Homo-oligomer: A and B are copies of this chain.
Amino acid sequence: MILENKLPLRYLIGIVKYELTAVLILSLITHFGAFRLTDFLPDMPLAIPAFLGTSISVLLSFKMNQSYDRWWEARKIWGAITNDSRSLIMQLLAFVTHDHDGIVKRIAYRQAAWGYTLGRSLRGNDPLANLQHLIDADDQHKILAHTNKPLAILQLTVQDISAMRAMDALDVHAHIHLQETVIRLTDSMGGAERINRTVFPSTYRLILHLIIYLFVITLTISLNSINNLLVIPLLMLISASFFCIEKIAYHLQDPFKNSPSDIPITEIAKNIEVNTRQLLGEEVKATESNTESYFVM
């Protein structure tokens, strides 16, 4: 997630540098080659790039909308993960009548680990690294047998809850009530995987790029009778704006891809760990996030 006050200009320029170079080359050729091309280039009425520009803003608006919706849905899913993790711990503490073996604490720690594991497997990182303080070696071993690591962790939790039920530390109603929370966590996990694996219709993006280049070309031709060097920076600024919005949308639509505009899932997972351990009555300090950077992950 990009923080508001620290955004460096180089970030914005960086995300559209290839497009801007293309526009620069294109306009320089058209502008300085114009006298040679006069016979070749048509007489372009300005109405054509003007309506293309308006169309681009409409089509960009659709794209921005859908991308933002994906991003916000991803954020909501991680909000639900936070909520249900907290609820799971509170429910366990409320319903388990006797807990000789520290099963509640084990489930709670494993739930805190689940946030990190899910986040990392969405981002393609090692899902179990550095989680020894939250998941014991035996559990880690079982988890490794599964393709889907976060699902394996949820299954361990389900098994522990069933074990408590078998020991009569839970009655059947509380068992089902806890299971419903696990189902919601399964749904959230599936929702995050869905967003991560589903490619936004990429054909749309291609067409949008094509129209932006058409716009740049027609606008350059229209303006090449104006013999003024300021036309080129103007062209570049307008097309940079369009390309930038497209790139912002492009980054938002995949919110778990290790980019600065990601949903800050590491941060959320840390927060879940702090909440979980404080609900267990432990004294934990909220870990500081890196305040040097212009984004949090």
Contacts and interface: CB of A to CB of B under 8 A. Distances in A.
Contacts of A180: 177
Contacts of A202: 2-4, 7
Interface of A: 1-4, 7, 11-12, 40-43, 45-62, 64-66, 68, 71, 75-76, 79-80, 82-83, 86-87, 90-91, 93-95, 145-148, 151-152, 154-155, 158-159, 161-162, 171-177, 179-183, 186-187, 189-191, 193-194, 198-199, 201-204, 206-207, 210-211, 214, 218, 223, 226, 228, 230-231, 234, 237-238, 241, 244-245, 248, 252, 261, 274-275, 278-279, 283-284, 286
B58 A228 contact: no
B187 A83 contact: yes
A241 B59 CA distance: 11
A59 B61 contact: yes
Is the contact region of chain A dominated by helix, strand, or loop, or is it mixed?
A: helix
Given A1-B199, A80-B187, 11 more contacts: A55-B57, A65-B66, A83-B183, A87-B183, A90-B182, A147-B278, A174-B176, A201-B248, A201-B252, A203-B244, A214-B237
A75 B70 CA distance: 12
A62 B59 contact: no
A158 B90 contact: yes
A52 to B, nearest CB: 7
Contacts of A50: 47-48, 50-51
A83 B207 contact: no
B2 A230 contact: no
A55 B52 contact: no
A195 to B, nearest CB: 9
Contact of A278 (B3, B148, B181): B148
Nearest to A248: B203
Contacts of A12: 203, 206-207
B82 A190 contact: yes
Contacts of A204: 64, 245, 248
Nearest to A94: B162
Contacts of A214: 234, 237-238, 241
A94 B179 contact: yes
A176 B173 contact: yes
A277 to B, nearest CB: 10
A210 B233 CA distance: 13
Contacts of A80: 187, 190
